[in-house]
Amino acid sequence: MSSPAGLKNPGAAVRGVGAAGLAVEGIVLLLALVPLAKLGHGDNTAAIWVCAVLAVVCFGLCGLLKHSWAWIAGLVVQVVLLAGGFLHWSLLALGIVFGPAWLYALYVRRSVYSNKPD
């Protein structure tokens, strides 16, 4: 019996999608540091730290997606990013962009793993 979608290793393909999403998110978070520091009004120190820490977490999770808990941790990153909107509106905007993308990656993961051949 063939694997879902004709993939030789569907688990690796799904991990690749998740890792790519987290890598892009980490890069965007790093790129957001300079505008937060230079263009922000008031003290954005907390928002800058949240942004930097979340970028490091995103890069770290890229290599850990073989563990099921890392997918949940990726979801926690999105929730923290949304909550970071209380520190600066741009963190909320990034959460609105990357949150649904991560939910879609979780959906794809679930559909691939639920269609495994016996």
pLDDT digits (tens, 9 = 90+) for 55-108: 999 999 999 999 999 999 999 999 999 999 999 999 999 999 999 999 999 999
- pLDDT score of 41: 74
The percent of residues above 90 in pLDDT, for the chain, comes to 70
d(CA 111, CA 38): 43
Mean pLDDT of the chain: 89
Within a domain: residue 84?
Answer: yes
Within a domain: residue 4?
Answer: no
Within a domain: residue 54?
Answer: yes
Task: Look up the domain containing 26 and give its range.
Answer: 9-112
Residue 3 pLDDT > 60: no
Within a domain: residue 26?
Answer: yes
- pLDDT score of 19: 95
More confident: 42 or 76: 76
Within a domain: residue 1?
Answer: no
Within a domain: residue 117?
Answer: no
Residue 24's contacts (CB-CB under 8 Å, 6 or more residues apart) are: none
Residue owning tokens 């509106």: 89
Within a domain: residue 108?
Answer: yes
Rounded to two decimals, the pTM is 0.86
User: What is the number of structural domains in the chain?
Assistant: 1
Q: Where does the pLDDT of residue 43 fall: very low under 50, low under 70, confident under 90, or very high at 90 and above?
A: confident
Within a domain: residue 2?
Answer: no
